[in-house]
Structure 1
Amino acid sequence: MKFIKPGKVAVVLQGRYAGKKVVIIKQFDEGTPERPYGHALVAGIDRYPRKITNAMNAKKIQKRTRVKTFVKVINYNHLMPTRYTFDLEELKKLVTADKVAEPSQRIETRKVVRKQFEDRYTAGKNKWFFTKLRF
């Protein structure tokens, strides 16, 4: 699909992560031998950062700005693209299809993605991406 491109923000529609926001890292329009359908490698947020106030101390703020992430391959039918985009130069190099296939490497990849997302959140970039979808 020509509108599902790397950097596009989408919402997962089905499964465990339904309603969660993801950013597309790599798309496979034609599919692969093991997945003969259009799919995308995505990184998303499982647990969003919580609201903070000025009255909170530094430790509490650090805890509440924590993000839980996931890295997954998802069928195009289960993604709804949005108008938002996400700059992912660093993520593209760090997250690959081989790393997601291997469980031990997937954990390391998820940690790297979490660090990137938390840095992005504390810098105040892509505000909409870090808010929970209310429905």
Structure 2
Amino acid sequence: MKFLKVGRVAIISRGRYAGKKVVIVQPQDNGSKKHPFPHAIVAGIDRYPLHVTRRMSKGRQTKRSKVKPFIKVVNYNHIMPTRYTLELEGLKGVVTNDTFTEVSQREEAKKTVKKALEER
């Protein structure tokens, strides 16, 4: 689909992460061998940062400002695109189809996604 491009912000409508915002990292209009349906590799926020005030200590502020990311392959039918886009240069080339083969690669990709999202 022409409007599901890299950087498009979307909302997942089904499953464990229903209602969570994601960024499309790599769209696959024709599918792949492992996933023979149109899908997208997405990176999103599982746990959002909490409210921070000036009264809180610096340690508590940093703890509440943390983000928990996730990486997932999602069918186009379960993605609702929004009008927003997000330019994340740190995600290019980090999350690919090969990322999902080994757990260690997936954990490394999550760490880079976390850094990129916390910068924003």
Between the aligned partners of 1:34 and 1:93, the Cα distance in structure 2 is 19
Report what 2:113 is aligned to: 113
Name the one with the larger helix percent.
1
SS of alignment partner, residue 112 of structure 2: helix
Which residue number corresponds to residue 34 of structure 2?
Answer: 34
Q: Which amino acid aligns with 1:109?
A: A
Conserved in 1, the CA contact under 8 Å of 2:99 and 2:106? Answer: yes
Q: Distance in 2 between matches of 1:100 and 1:82?
A: 26
Q: Is the 8 A contact 1:52 1:64 kept in 2?
A: yes
Q: Runs in 1 of length 4+ with deviation above 2 angstroms?
A: none
The separation in 2 between residues aligned to 1:31 and 1:99, in whole angstroms, is 16
Deviation at 1:93, TM superposition (A): 2.3
Contact 1:17 1:46 in 2 (8 A): yes
Identity %: 55
Whole-Å separation in 2 of the counterparts to 1:114 and 1:99: 15
In 1, are the aligned partners of 2:7 and 2:23 still within 8 Å (CA)?
A: yes
When normalised by structure 1's length, the TM-score is: 0.85
Q: What is residue 58 of structure 2 aligned with on the other side?
A: 58
The answer as to whether partners of 1:100 and 1:109 remain within 8 angstroms in 2 is no
Residue 36 of structure 1, CA deviation? 1.2
CA contact (8 A) 2:25 2:40 kept: yes
- Partners of 2:101 and 2:48 in 1: how far apart? 25
Shift of 1:101: 2.9
Mapped to 2, the partners of 1:110 and 1:4 lie a distance apart of: 22
- Alpha-carbon distance in structure 1 between the residues aligned to 2:106 and 2:60: 28
**Counterparts of 1:94-105 in structure 2 under 5 Å?**
94-105=94-105
Q: CA deviation at 1:95?
A: 1.6
Q: CA RMSD in A?
A: 0.9
- TM-score under structure 2 normalisation? 0.96
